[in-house]
Structure 1
Amino acid sequence: MTTEKSSLHTRNLHRNPYDFDQLISCVPELKHYVFVNSYQTATINFSLPKAVKLLNQALLLHFYHIKNWDIPEANLCPPIPGRADYIHYIADLLAEQRSEIPAGSSISGLDIGTGANLVYPLLAQRSYGWKMLGTDINKDSLNNAQHILDHNPDLSPVIQLKQQPDPDHIFKNIIETGDRFTFSMCNPPFHDSEESALKGNLRKTKNLNKSKSRKPLLNFGGQQSELWCEGGELAFITKMIEESAQYSSKVLWFTCLVSKKDNLPKFITLLKKIKVLDFKTIEMAQGQKVSRMLAWTFIPQKSRKDWL
């Protein structure tokens, strides 16, 4: 029996079960990885990196008209439905200032750590027509992201890329004097070390396979800058919040995903300390995984409509 994925955002295009016939017509190679499970449902083995990548290629081509999407084997292969949810919740946040979701290139977003996959700018642009800037500290990742843009020339005027030369900074070197962003977004490195990242992937692989595999399959891939940083999520988002105060007039809404619920009170304490005018925590669920979007702004309520 197939059911709608009701935990996903109501505007998410992936709430219904995957139509694999449709997806295989987009990426024929995917057919070699599709099977019918014990619930008589067509699916793939999500612990196989190749299967996940082919599924992503098909989803991005079918739903978002992104051609020739590809990433190196070592890079993060993002689950598209969950990534789309973050975009839709940002759209809801912006819609609070007016009666409709603002669309078009007058809305500009900044994606911190866009990675080789460029997935957030692609989804944001195709879903709402927003203009996006993707940043990363990894030059190879940005080269791959540019390769995706080269295969989709209509996106080049509305999605730009910029390298962060200093890993100790997030907004500095990126936001310049004349810049103004409607929002920033980030899916930060979660782990605090390579060992922690590998352990996390071992747990994920065991859950996906229901097996006792001892070898962590990095089914979602991931370079260091994508999966771990010194101090993990807590240190990274703390740095982001502190640095955001220096760019308080340049971004309407700063947002970031928070995986560890226990970290939230620390972030909220810090937001109050730097005197933000408003902050929100929005829960997002994809299957059993619950994440949350933390959003904050320094812009007074009466001025926010002017940004949209």
Structure 2
Amino acid sequence: MSNKNKKETRNQGGKPLLHARNRHQGRYDFPALIKAEPALEHMLISNPAGETSINFADPLAVRLLNKALLQSSYDVRGWDIPPENLCPPVPGRADYLHYLADLLADSNQGRVPKGKQITALDIGTGASCIYPLIGASEYGWSFCASDINQASLTNAQAILEHNPNLGKQIQLRHQANELSLFKGIVADDEWFDVSLCNPPFHASAEEARAGSTRKWENLNKTGKAEQAEPVLNFSGQAAELWCEGGELAFIEKMIRESAAIPTKILWFSTLVSKSANLPAIHAALKQVKACDEKTIIMSQGNKESRLVAWTFLNASQQAAWAKLRWSNNKR
């Protein structure tokens, strides 16, 4: 399968940029963020360049930054997660959703479809419920958010109770079968316009710990860490950070399962953290005879990641899908 659909946007210095619609361009506006979350003020530091920042190796500082970003940009209230859960970066998660919106626009005569009739399935939503919150606020989409961890869903439900307007568009579902991703979640009488997932990166707990240590060392070199020792896993529980076979095995499983429900979801998608996994992912998509596949390069600061999306519907079928399901969409 060719990679002709790869999208890549870079600035004059050669670094990839956030999506044009991303609200988090440039440096953080800390005065505005502190107004949204006053506790963030106590987390501020000066980086080696003399600029105001936070210690990105401090899980509490990162959680407070996320809380402030969600409230100031998306009017999400009462957001918090337990210290042991993975704290996702808001700008990068927003980027994923904006590129998915572009995919849907390709099937909608170039118009980004908005409103509650657009349905998204978030596989592994976690305690943060980050994708549904941003997607419901930014585009008005409806979300089904699944997870195997009931404690994570309980925390997500607590966040939704603080945000009843967004909560009306977000349904949480427990995945009782740890061996399945779509089965047991996608009902026989429902269809989704897009699915999304941030799969676990690592193949074992040991590999996750090593990754956390490398991350801490990199932050320390750039003056962004102040701890004498790395914080274990930079927060994150087992299912969030690792699974047997790692990221590639997880995504290959997702691809196989998607082939069993080819007409239930218009665009399947996943993040891919390791570029070395792309050839095997493309091969897996070719094996299940995906009709179209797109690889999109995304960036947050110096970190680069990839979004891979695929569909089993051809162009005419995609257009028919949009006409049937989004006919009342005026924007």
> Aligned residue for 1:27?
37
Give 5+ residue unaligned stretches, structure 2: 1-12, 323-331
CA distance, structure 2, for counterparts of residue 246 and residue 148 of structure 1: 33
CA distance, structure 2, for counterparts of residue 282 and residue 85 of structure 1: 11
CA distance, structure 2, for counterparts of residue 180 and residue 219 of structure 1: 36
Change beyond 3 A, Cα 1:135–1:111? same
> Aligned residue for 1:86?
96
> Aligned residue for 1:72?
82
Seq. identity, % = 52
Among 135, 138, 142, the alignment partner of 1:127 is 138
Deviations 1:130-163 (A, max 9, x none): 1011100000000000000011111222000001
Residue 232 (structure 1) aligned with residue 246 (structure 2): yes
CA distance, structure 2, for counterparts of residue 286 and residue 201 of structure 1: 18
Residue 271 (structure 1) aligned with residue 281 (structure 2): no
Among 151, 158, 163, the alignment partner of 2:174 is 163
Residue 187 (structure 1) aligned with residue 198 (structure 2): yes
* Alignment RMSD: 1.7
Give 5+ residue unaligned stretches, structure 1: none
CA distance, structure 2, for counterparts of residue 274 and residue 38 of structure 1: 50
Tell whether the 8 Å contact from 1:8 to 1:15 is kept in structure 2 after alignment.
yes
- Structure scoring higher RCO (CA < 8 A, sep ≥ 6) equals 2
Tell whether the 8 Å contact from 1:198 to 1:216 is kept in structure 2 after alignment.
no
Superposition pairs of residues 51-62 of structure 1, within 5 angstroms: 51-62=61-72
CA distance, structure 2, for counterparts of residue 273 and residue 190 of structure 1: 23
> Aligned residue for 2:268?
254
Deviations 1:169-220 (A, max 9, x none): 1000001101100000000000001110111011111111227977431474
> Aligned residue for 1:204?
215
Tell whether the 8 Å contact from 1:206 to 1:213 is kept in structure 2 after alignment.
no
CA offset at residue 99 of structure 1?
2.1
> Aligned residue for 1:299?
313
CA distance, structure 1, for counterparts of residue 157 and residue 321 of structure 2: 28
Tell whether the 8 Å contact from 2:16 to 2:298 is kept in structure 1 after alignment.
no
> Aligned residue for 1:216?
230
CA offset at residue 38 of structure 1?
2.9
Equivalent residue letter for 1:57: K
Tell whether the 8 Å contact from 1:279 to 1:297 is kept in structure 2 after alignment.
yes
CA distance, structure 2, for counterparts of residue 213 and residue 36 of structure 1: 15
Among 294, 303, 315, the alignment partner of 1:289 is 303
CA distance, structure 2, for counterparts of residue 96 and residue 266 of structure 1: 26
> Aligned residue for 2:161?
150
Tell whether the 8 Å contact from 2:200 to 2:247 is kept in structure 1 after alignment.
yes
Off by >4 Å, runs of 4+ in structure 1: 211-214
Residue 177 (structure 1) aligned with residue 191 (structure 2): no
Equivalent residue letter for 2:72: H
CA distance, structure 2, for counterparts of residue 149 and residue 139 of structure 1: 15
Deviations 1:11-47 (A, max 9, x none): 1100121111111111111111112223231100000
Q: Which moved more, 1:212-221 or 1:162-171?
A: 212-221
Change beyond 3 A, Cα 1:219–1:46? farther
Q: Please give the TM-score of this superposition, normalised by the length of structure 2.
A: 0.89
CA distance, structure 1, for counterparts of residue 47 and residue 302 of structure 2: 19
Among 238, 241, 254, the alignment partner of 2:255 is 241
CA distance, structure 2, for counterparts of residue 218 and residue 151 of structure 1: 30
